[in-house]
Structures are given as C-alpha cells and as structure tokens.
Chain A
Amino acid sequence: MGMTDAWLLPVIPAGAFVALTFLGPWLPRRGDWLAILAMAATFLLVWPITADLTDALATEGAEFAGVANSIPWLEVPGNLELRLGVYVDPITVVMLIVVSFVALLVQIYSLGYMHGDSRYGWFYAVLSLFAASMLALVLADNFLLLYFAWELVGLCSYLLIGHYNHLRSAAEAAKKAFITTRIGDVGLLIGIILLFTDTGTFDIQQVIAAAEEGTIRTEVLTASVVLIFMGAMGKSAQFPLHVWLPDAMEGPTPVSALIHAATMVVAGVYLVARTLPLFELVAGASELVLAVGLLTTMMSATMGLVVTDIKRVIAYSTINSLGLMFVALGLGHPAAAMLYLFVHAFFKALLFLGAGSVIHATECQEVSQLGGLLSKMSITAPMFLIGALAMAGVPLLSGFWAKDEILTGALENRAVFSILLLSLPLTAMYMTRVYILTFLGEPRDKEAYEHAHEGPATMWVPLLVLGFLSFFAGLIVFDPIGRMLGFPGGIGEVIFLLEPEPLDFDWYVAFGSTALVLLGIGAGWYAWAVRTDLPQRAQQRLPRLHALFANKYYLDDIYQGIIDNVVLAGARVLAWFDRNVVNDTGVDGAAYATGFMGYLLKFQQTGKLPNYALGIVVGVVALTVVAFAVKG
C-alpha cells in the first residue's frame, strides 16, 4: 500500500454508499456498521500512505514533488487526452488524515445521535458518499476530477442539510447552501476551462508548470485565478458568499461537525493551497485572498457575539477560522494555513459534537433557554470548554500554535497584523459567552434541564478522542514530537509544502496574543457571568450596532432584495415573453394557422374515389413531365 494506491481510499466508502443505497433496507441495522467499517478501513489505509510519504520525504528531501498515478479516461486522438488519477503530496496527506479520521468519529457519534431517525440508513449512505467524494477531491490530480468531486460534496451537503426534510426551514437552508455555493462553483468551472484553453490540459501540476513557464496569457491567468478563488469563496463561506453556512446548521449536528466544520468547508482552503503557485504569479491575487479573509474574519467575529443559537455561534466561529486560513494563504504561508486547518478540524468538530450532545440532551439549541448544564453533563462540558479555549487560542492548546503561526507570518504587514490582533479578543469573547450561557449559571428552562443527561458511549467517546486531540494536536509543530509520530522533521515536512519551513515562534507575538485572548475571555466572563445585565444595557445603548450584527449586516436582506427586484423582475419579463410571444404567438399561432388552412381546404374534399384517382394520375403525369423537362 503505497502512495500510488491511494485511489483505493475513495473507492471503499463509495462501495459502502452503493451497498447502503441498494441493499440498505435488507441489511441489519440499516447497514450503519457497513458504513463505519468502510470508513475505519479507509482510515487505516491512510497510515501506510502516510508512512510511504514520510519515507519518500526522508530519502528525497526537498526534491520530492509528489507522486501521481493516473489512467487514461477519455481520448480524442491528437486533440485531447483526459486522465483520471491521484496525486499525493504532503497537503494531500494532511487532508486525508483529517477527512478519514473526522468522518469515522462522526459516523460513530451518529450511532447515538441519529438513533431512531426515520431516514437513518439514508443518512449513513450519504455520509459514505460524502467521505468518498471528499477523499476524491483532495486526491484528484486534475481539475476535472476535482470539480466533479467538488460538486459531489456540494450535493451531499445539500442532502444532509435538508435531512429533516419535513421542516420547511431545513429545505430552505439546503436550497440556499446549494445555490450560494453554486455561484462560486460556476466561477471555478469557467476558470478551469479558461486554463484548459491555454494549456490543453486539466492536470493541475502541468497547468502550474505551464503558468510558471509563462505559456498562459496574463489576462487568462488573472481571470482564471480570480474565478478559481470565487469557487473557494463559495465553498469555504467567505464574504460575500458566507451567508449559507449559518443556515446550514439546520442539518443534523454530526453533519455540521463533519461537513460544515472539519472537511467540506476547508475544500476552498485546500484548493487555494493547491493552486497557490498560480496565485503568486498574478499581481493582486494574494491581496484579494488576504482582503477577503480579513473581512470575513472580522464580520463573523462580530456576528458571533449576538447570535443566540448555539450551533450558529459555532458556525460563525467556523467562518472566522476559515477567514484566518485565507489570511495565511494570502500572506503566502500555506503551511500555516494547513496547520490551522489540521487542528481546526479537531477542535471545531469537538465543539459541534459537544453542541450536538447538548441538543441531544435538551432538545433545545437556543442559548437563552440553556444554562447550568455543567452539573448534568460532566463529559460534554469540559470537552466543550477545551474546544472553546482552543478556538480562542489559549496557550498550549492546539489552536494556539496554529494561530501563532499565522500571526507570526503577518508580522511584516502591520495593517493585517493589527486587524488580526483585533479579532483575537472578539473570538475569545464569543466563545466564552457561548460556554457560559450553555453550561454555567442558573438553568433558564427547568424542564429541559431536568431532562438533560449525558448521551450513550458512542457519543461521548468521540468527544474524549477529539478533546485529547484538540488539546495536544498542536504539539506536532515541535520536531521531536513529529519525529516520534513517524514524521521526519515534524511539521516542517509533513504539513509544509514545497520547501520545509522551520517553526516560527516569536515570544512577543505569543505573549501579546495570549494577553489579548485572556482580555477577551475576561471581558466575556465579566459581561455574561458577573454583570449579567451588561449585554442587555449595551444592546439598549447601541441598538443600531446590535441590529447590524444580529441582522448579519443585512446581507440576507440585500440578497433577498436583489432576488425579488432584479432576478424575479427579469423572470417576470421572460415569463411575459414566454406567455405572449413564444406560447400564444408561436406555438398556439402555428396550430391556429394550420387549423385555419385546414378549414379553407376541407371543402375541396368530395369523398368520391374517382376524383382522388384522377388527382393521383394527373399528379404522377405532371411530375414525370417536370422530371423529363428538368433533366432535358
């Protein structure tokens, strides 16, 4: 099992999907064990591939450029050769570990969370399909296969957000997610085709090589890079296409943990990291990534402060984190982005699964009705706390190391650095807020509180595993620990891309950020645990600001306005044209004209046979004469 066999990884869960779809109702327990076994097998197979990669890295060092294995797919001789294949390099392996591991844990967790669901088997089938497509996405060696998988994960996201399809809000949210990401996807597709027209290949590495040789026209390269980034913005919920992610929380919570926190939404980060050489060749592209990332980070942090739904708070924190990853990419530090992606997958999945435990226990997800759950949920509460502190960036937890990498990378750019510093206390504050409102204080809804209990072992064991990783995963930044786990050179060569980078550590940055994080936590503690009337008063003093945040910067209203006034107005014009011109004049008109001609001609019919016979004879004679005349 080497790197060239990596194609097996997506095939296994895809097989589980097929089996569950066609045989599901006849399998014991609807086949959930089959999905989990397939995922476990996939997860185990990732390790030989990782070992193979680390061996290659150890022998080839910086010369190593990734391993590709592909088969011909479609061939037009002399014109076009499409290949289907996998490409494995360090970022691929990081993604493989994250995807297969989180998918496995989420599937185990769902045993408890989804127990008794009416579409239990279908849920597991789609989870398997999602895992297969996500693995195919990160393994794809060409843009076409990548796009194919890209759309498949979008489809799975749609299906799973709308899992509770009897709820109108869930159906609407699924539609919104699908359409919003589709806006970005169209850009991605156009970008891929543009690159193909100038290079004649879909192979990502060949396209990058062609761009570096300068065989792609500048304007084409610029346009396609911007369009590819559009795809990444849609999938990774970046401003202004981030609006779908908070609504996606309508789906079952394990889905939010897997798709909308750990894996699918980071596909955009992965795509930009994968094509970063292209971004570096286009003037202004990195700045665009940077600006979008910063704006998204700030906006989501402020919105996270006022949202009252526990899952949506975490959703905004996800958007916040994704923005941070794009900032790192825009600064030209893909390694920092990938490190953040790696640890983020653990602590964000932990937060979502913790929130899932709370919802499972209380059947309630408004923080205004929760509270005091610490005494009832002795596993969920501390694990959630670890996740929240890791997200906030408290030292020694995994989030700290990754955030520190990004901050150190931003040191040279003062404006970016100061905005990032500003977002730190905000993030810490809303994570503190959600923890306090959920687990501390007096229970606000007695009935929900009495009802609360810790879930089954299938639910709390994944929490413990993720809690452990959220605490310690960041330590792989230290080379000795990396080496101990089998990665030569630790982070330097596993997560980092082309040239290994040493760990950047700056004591000033570390202390400064820690101080800001603690300030945020303190402020959050003071506002929501000590002076609990403070948020209310702030809300009354600054009603406009609160409304701006609570209404998500009115973006949803603006989009709805655009849909109502522009899209639907255009649709009405087209509908009028279709009704009056195409239908009434064209289709009905043609039928009416034919009918009228028939009315005129029917009186020529006598019904007498000899008349018709004479007509035939005269016609044949006339045709013969004409034929002879024409032929001469």
Chain B
Amino acid sequence: METAAQQVPLEHFLVLSAILFSLGVYGVLTRRNAVLILMSVELMLNAASINMVAFAAYTAPQAFTGIIFAVFIITVAAAEVGLALAIILRIFRNRQTANVDELDQLKW
C-alpha cells in the first residue's frame, strides 16, 4: 500500500510554500494599506510553516521538532498580529489613515 508521502512527493509542498512566500513578498512590497501588509506577512509565515511540517513528515517522521516549530510559528504569529493590529489601530485613530506612504515621520 502506498503512503500519502509516496503519492505526493516533497517537491510539491516546497513549490506550494515557495509560491505562497513569493505572494507574501509581493504583497508586502506593493500594498500600501498596513493591514494588507500584515496579512501578506502572515502568508510568508504560513509558507515557512508548511516547509517545516513537510520536511518533518518526509525526512524525520519520528521526530516532532518540525511540527513543534510550526506550532511555535503559529503562536508567535498570533501574538504578533494582536500587537501589530493594536498599533495600526492606534495610528489610524491618531491620523485617520493606515496608508504606510503617509506614515514617514520616523526619520531624521
């Protein structure tokens, strides 16, 4: 009986993760709305998680390290979103905008 791993090779997961990551990068670079940038960052984080889980399943199925790593990424991402959204909310309250092009005060 063929296992799922043999039916779907590792490369598929890696390609999926690469596509997701690239989309995330594209989003971060092109979007102007801070919330959308944040969502793109989440995309990149999830791409990394997929990589972790895939490598864990294919190369070391007995060890849990990859999976635990993914769990950690999810946890950290949740915390980060909470923090970042709060910051964006405060900025929006203050300046009535979340457009990052207009938020350019942090310089000399």
**A residues engaging B (CB < 8 A)?**
602-603, 605-610, 613-614, 617
C-alpha gap A609/B32 in the complex (Å): 9
> For residue A609, which residue of chain B has the nearest CB?
B100
B104 and A613 contacting across the interface, CB-CB below 8 Å = no
With beta carbons under 8 angstroms apart, the residue of A607, A610, A614 that contacts B107 is A607
A607 and B29 contacting across the interface, CB-CB below 8 Å = no
C-alpha gap A603/B108 in the complex (Å): 7
Residues of A within 8 A of B105 (CB): 607
Most B Cβ at <10 Å: residue of A603, A605, A610: A610
C-alpha gap A609/B106 in the complex (Å): 10
B104 and A617 contacting across the interface, CB-CB below 8 Å = no
C-alpha gap A613/B38 in the complex (Å): 12
With beta carbons under 8 angstroms apart, the residue of B28, B101, B103, B107 that contacts A613 is B28
**Nearest 8 pairs of A and B residues by beta carbon:** A607-B104, A607-B107, A605-B107, A609-B100, A602-B108, A608-B104, A607-B106, A613-B28
B29 and A608 contacting across the interface, CB-CB below 8 Å = no
A608 and B100 contacting across the interface, CB-CB below 8 Å = yes
C-alpha gap A606/B105 in the complex (Å): 9
Is B50 an interface residue when CB atoms closer than 8 A count as contact? no
Chain A interface helix/strand/loop/mixed: helix
Is B37 an interface residue when CB atoms closer than 8 A count as contact? yes
Is B25 an interface residue when CB atoms closer than 8 A count as contact? yes
Residues of A within 8 A of B101 (CB): 608, 610
Interface size range of chain B in the complex: 10 to 19
C-alpha gap A608/B105 in the complex (Å): 8
C-alpha gap A614/B101 in the complex (Å): 14
CB distance from A333 to the nearest CB of B (A): 82
B37 and A609 contacting across the interface, CB-CB below 8 Å = yes
CB distance from A437 to the nearest CB of B (A): 83
B107 and A606 contacting across the interface, CB-CB below 8 Å = yes
Residues of B within 8 A of A605 (CB): 107-108
The contact sample of 11 A-B pairs, CB cut-off 8 A, is: A602-B108, A605-B107, A605-B108, A606-B104, A607-B103, A607-B104, A608-B100, A609-B100, A610-B100, A617-B25, A617-B28
> For residue A621, which residue of chain B has the nearest CB?
B25
CB distance from A594 to the nearest CB of B (A): 16
> For residue A620, which residue of chain B has the nearest CB?
B25
Residues of A within 8 A of B103 (CB): 607, 609
C-alpha gap A605/B104 in the complex (Å): 10
C-alpha gap A603/B101 in the complex (Å): 18
Near A by CB (< 8 A), chain B positions 1-58 give 25, 28-29, 32, 37
Most A Cβ at <10 Å: residue of B25, B37, B101: B25
> For residue B104, which residue of chain A has the nearest CB?
A607
Residues of B within 8 A of A610 (CB): 29, 32, 100-101
CB distance from A143 to the nearest CB of B (A): 58
C-alpha gap A617/B100 in the complex (Å): 17
Most A Cβ at <10 Å: residue of B100, B101, B105: B100
C-alpha gap A404/B87 in the complex (Å): 97
Residues of A within 8 A of B106 (CB): 607
> For residue B25, which residue of chain A has the nearest CB?
A617
B108 and A613 contacting across the interface, CB-CB below 8 Å = no
Near A by CB (< 8 A), chain B positions 62-78 give none
C-alpha gap A608/B104 in the complex (Å): 5
